[in-house]
Amino acid sequence: MRRLVLGVLALALAAGCGRAPDREVSAPQVTRTEPANARLAGLSTYPRFGDRDPHEWAARAPWSYPVHGIDVSRYQGDIDWLKVRRSGVSFAYIKATEGGDHTDAKFRDNWRGAGAAGLKRGAYHYYYFCRPAAEQARWFIRHVPKDPDALPPVLDMEWNHRSRSCRTRPDGATVRAEARKFLNILERHYGKRPVVYTTVDFYRDTGIGQLSGTEFWLRSVAGHPQQVYPGESWSFWQYSGTGQVPGVAGDVDLNTFGGSPESWLRWSGQI
pLDDT of residue 33: 44
Examine the pLDDT at 36 and tell me if it is beyond 90. no
Residue 39 maps to a domain: no
pLDDT of residue 171: 98
State the average pLDDT over residues 43-62: 92
Q: What is the pLDDT of residues 144-175, one digit of tens each?
A: 999 999 999 999 999 998 888 898 999 999 99
pLDDT of residue 216: 99
pLDDT of residue 31: 40
Q: How many domains does the chain have?
A: 1
- Strand locations in the chain (E): 50-51, 68-72, 91-98, 102-103, 120-126, 154-157, 195-198, 216-219, 236-244, 252-257
Residue 132 maps to a domain: yes
Examine the pLDDT at 194 and tell me if it is beyond 60. yes
Residue 152 maps to a domain: yes
157 vs 248: CA distance, rounded Å: 25
Structural domain of 162? 3-21+51-267
Q: How confident is the model at residue 4 (pLDDT cuts 50, 70, 90)?
A: very low
Q: Which residues make Cβ contacts (< 8 Å) with residue 250, sequence separation at least 6? A: 76, 77
Mean pLDDT across the chain: 90
Residue 206 maps to a domain: yes
Residue 161 maps to a domain: yes
Residue 46 maps to a domain: no
For residues 2 and 241, is the Cβ–Cβ distance under 8 A? yes
For residues 32 and 224, is the Cβ–Cβ distance under 8 A? no
State the average pLDDT over residues 181-188: 99
Q: What is the pLDDT of residues 225-241, one digit of tens each?
A: 999 999 999 999 999 99
State the average pLDDT over residues 64-76: 98
Q: Which amino acid is at 98?
A: E
pLDDT of residue 35: 64
State the average pLDDT over residues 65-71: 98
Residue 44 maps to a domain: no
Q: What is the pLDDT of residues 76-118, one digit of tens each?
A: 999 999 999 999 999 999 999 999 999 999 999 999 999 999 9
Q: How confident is the model at residue 42 (pLDDT cuts 50, 70, 90)?
A: low
CATH code of residue 86:
3.20.20.80
Residue 45 maps to a domain: no
| Active site positions, annotated | 71, 158
Examine the pLDDT at 30 and tell me if it is beyond 60. no
Q: In angstroms, how far is the first alpha carbon of the chain from the final one?
A: 29
pLDDT of residue 39: 74
